Amino acid sequence: MIRVKIYHNINRDIFAVDLYNHGDSIVCAGVSALAINTVNSLEELTEAKFTCEYEEEGGLMKIRLPEAEEGKHDRDAALLMNSLALGLRNIAEGYREELKVEDI
């Protein structure tokens, strides 16, 4: 099962998303495409400072917006992170046995 943790700051802005246990399913492909596109979009389309950790073994990806964690708002980065969360939740609705999304 793929697990996703979405972290919110005091203002309810998303400042981090952790993805665990990617596999070889169509669900994994969709989740990976959303996450990689978000990282690429953050890099190419925003001025936001972010980090992305990736470990192929175990299927771990962590996306962090350190300034958002501190409560600073970047409209473009927030839109991209909310879009990622929306896409992940939509996939989870159709594949409850393969993807779990948790808001923290």
**Which pLDDT score is estimated for 71?**
85
- CATH number 3.30.70.1490 given to 2-103: yes
Average pLDDT over residues 29-52: 96
**Which pLDDT score is estimated for 78?**
95
The answer to whether 16 touches 69, Cβ cutoff 8 Å, is: yes
Above 70 in pLDDT, residue 23? no
Query: What is the rounded distance in angstroms from the CA atom of residue 8 to the CA atom of residue 14?
Result: 4
Q: What is the mean pLDDT of the chain?
A: 93
| pLDDT confidence band for 59 (50 / 70 / 90) | confident
**Which pLDDT score is estimated for 96?**
92
Domain ranges (residues) in the chain: 2-103
The answer to whether 4 touches 18, Cβ cutoff 8 Å, is: yes
Query: What is the rounded distance in angstroms from the CA atom of residue 2 to the CA atom of residue 9?
Result: 23
Distances (CA, A) of 75 to 46, 54, 60, 82: 9, 25, 26, 10
Residue that is written with structure tokens 């665990």 in the block:
20
Average pLDDT over residues 82-91: 98
Q: Which residues contact 38 (CB under 8 A, 6 or more apart)?
A: 17, 63, 80, 81, 83, 84
| pLDDT confidence band for 24 (50 / 70 / 90) | low
pTM of the entire predicted model: 0.92
